[in-house]
Amino acid sequence: MHNAPWVQYPVGRFSCPLWAGAVLGLLSVLLTLSLLSLELLRPSAAALSLGMVLLGAVWSLRGRSSEPAWLVWDGQGWQWWANAEGDNAIHVEAMSVQADFQFLLLLHLRRDQAPQQPKFTQWVWLYKGFAPAQWHGLRCAVYSRLNA
């Protein structure tokens, strides 16, 4: 196949770092409470530690968007869409695969900078679970364009 067919793939927030943060936060809370119960930690230090865990949780959830962005291959080139309707579409000039784990891709997207255009660069994790039916088409499009 010379050109891969059209594909539209959601770019959502990859949940693995969120789960890893939650596990780390839970372990921090348990360690802080156990040190406090053994009287190896002052109450003020325990309150500070628990406050930092809470602040980290709020910070990690503050940027969550209900609507994902979309990475779109139209058969000729890549575009970055702010939503499923294609509002604020940005033409992606260069894409490189940074990591490929068969079910997970790390891509670096860039646009050549022109004076009238704002800077655009994105690092995105694409996960097969975001849209399993489109995963094969996405991978074909990524690798057909890289080898063209």
- Domain extents for the chain? 7-12+67-146, 15-62
Give residues with Cβ within 8 angstroms of 46, minimum separation 6: 32, 33, 35, 36
With a cut of 80, say whether residue 77 has pLDDT above it. yes
With a cut of 70, say whether residue 14 has pLDDT above it. no
pLDDT in tens, 89-140: 888 988 999 999 999 898 999 986 666 777 888 888 888 988 999 999 999 9
The answer to whether residues 79 and 89 touch, using CB atoms and an 8 Å cutoff, is yes
State the DSSP code for 122: E
pLDDT at 27: 81
Highest mean pLDDT of the ranges 27-41, 62-76, 95-109:
95-109
What's the whole-model pTM score? 0.63
pLDDT at 114: 66
